[in-house]
Structure 1
Amino acid sequence: MPDERRPGAGGELTVPMAWLYAEYIADELLRTGDLMPPTSVEFRAGRDALALTVFLSDTEGELAGIKVITQLETWLSLTAYDQPWQDWVGERLALLALEEPDGPGPDLRLARDAWRWLEETELLAPDLDAVPGGGPVPGDEDGPQAWIPAWQLGLPLGHLAIHLF
């Protein structure tokens, strides 16, 4: 891992505590929901989408002091199906970048990396836009599938994990 020393920090190591805490919360919510194996790529998609939601919804910089129970409704509303979550993520990342005049800190860099992975990685998932009533192809028990960006699978998994908590 690269040295995370920042100008003006007295040469001290800057640890991405806000991101790590958001990732921890997301991981615990998904493990509690027991929706998929923690070693699966789907789990990672859910964890990263949920971690971004947790991290970016912390507008007061109080992430380490929050009580998860008090934030569940906020996270549910942000991850709901009819919300433009991906636009919100892009806007929040851009806003946070403006707030860091010395360049992105380690928290923001990790959040950007997670977002880049969620956007660029495609996962094979059930095709929810398939023609209704079009039964599965013979030999294909799962029905129609499509390649989608990882966030499109991870976001509903994260949303469901919050519900199950």
Structure 2
Amino acid sequence: MLPEGTNGTSGGGLAVPMAWLCAEYTADEVLRTGGLVEPGSLEYRAGRETLALTVYLCEASDGPADGRAPSRLDEWLSVTAYGHPWRDWVRERIAARESFERDVTGADPDLALARDAWTWLERTELLAADLGEDGGLWHPALGPDPAADESAQVWTPAWRLGLPLGHLAIHLY
């Protein structure tokens, strides 16, 4: 695979993971604009990594689109929506890209960073409000669950906290 960018040397220079870096920048911009959590916190990182994976894996084969384009925002909202099987969606998309990498392109530095982000999101647990077994205390159409005790906290994978945070940040963007 030819690198998307190089370090300025000629012939086979360092591959720069531009697609992942653009996705991470977009996720950071969306979260900062929303102002929902303090930048630098683990909650912020969970939201940024979740959004970056969403942006990267939604990216069409014709290249990145303007992050503020309505169709792009609608796609991100749909993928991060309550009830969408985001975790399965990520696993399927990464597996498909890994298969393509093996069969066609060779090592992909963007995919390597996406895999690292996914590993961090799955293995890192954060102490958060108990979202219940179904993954949410609330549904946008129903409002908060009146029986839920929001002071109860549990350890949860980072993506479970980052997903609703990212979804809300997209709405505020």
Structure 2, unaligned runs of 5 or more: 1-5, 138-144
- How far off is 1:55 after superposition? 0.2
Counterpart AA for 1:40: S
TM-score by length of 1: 0.84
Aligned sequence identity (%): 58
SS of 1:72's partner is: helix
- Cα RMSD over matched residues? 2.2
Offset from partner CA, 1:114-163 (integer Å, 9 cap, x none): 0000000000000132896476xxxxxx6110110000000110000000
SS of 1:68's partner is: coil
Offset from partner CA, 1:48-97 (integer Å, 9 cap, x none): 0000000000131401xx11122100000000011000000000001111
Asked if the contact 1:97/1:104 (under 8 Å) is kept, the reply is no
Counterpart AA for 2:168: L
Offset from partner CA, 1:12-40 (integer Å, 9 cap, x none): 11000000000000000000000111110
Asked if the contact 1:97/1:103 (under 8 Å) is kept, the reply is no
1:109 aligns with 112
1:138 aligns with none
Structure 1, unaligned runs of 5 or more: 136-141
1:98 aligns with 99
Tell me, in whole angstroms, the C-alpha distance in 2 between the residues paired with 1:74 and 1:30. 17
- How far off is 1:100 after superposition? 1.3
